[in-house]
Amino acid sequence: MKACHENLFNSNHYLDVFIVGVGGVGGELVEQVKRQQSKLADQGIVIRVCGLANSKGMLLNSKGIDLNGWRDELATINEPFSLPRMVRLVQQNHIINPVFIDCTSDQAIADQYADFLSAGFHVITPNKKANTAGMAYYQQLRKAARATRRKFMYDTTVGAGLPVIENLQNLIAAGDELENLPVSCPAPCPIFSVSWTKDKASAKRPPSRETTALPSQIPVTISPAWMWRVSF
Q: What DSSP string runs through 111-152?
A: TTHHHHHHTT-EEEE---TTTTS-HHHHHHHHHHHHHHT--E
- The SS3 of residue 71 is helix
pLDDT tens digits in sequence order for the chain, 232 residues long: 555 555 555 678 899 999 999 988 899 999 999 999 989 899 899 999 999 999 889 999 999 999 999 999 999 988 888 889 999 999 999 999 999 999 998 999 999 999 999 999 999 998 889 988 889 999 999 999 999 999 999 876 655 556 677 777 788 878 888 777 666 555 444 444 444 444 444 444 444 444 443 444 444 444 333 333 343 3
Where are the alpha helices (H) located in 45-134, listed in sequence order? Answer: 70-75, 83-92, 107-110, 113-118
**Alpha-carbon dihedral sign for residues 199, 203, 209, 212:** negative
> What pLDDT does 30 receive?
95
Tell me, what's the pLDDT at 172?
A: 81
Nearest by Cα to 74 from 90, 47, 88, 56: 56
One-letter amino acid of 57: G
Question: What is the predicted pLDDT for the residue at 168?
Answer: 79
Q: What is the pLDDT of residue 33?
A: 94
CB hemisphere CA count around 120 (13 angstroms): 14
180's CB contacts (< 8 A; 6+ apart) are: 218, 219, 220, 221
Strands (E), the chain: 13-20, 45-53, 58-60, 98-102, 122-125, 152-154, 157-158, 162-163, 181-183, 210-213, 219-222
pTM, entire model = 0.70
What is residue 154's predicted lDDT score, i.e. its pLDDT?
Answer: 85
Asked: is 2-154 a CATH 3.40.50.720 domain? The reply is yes
Domain ranges of the chain: 2-154, 158-222
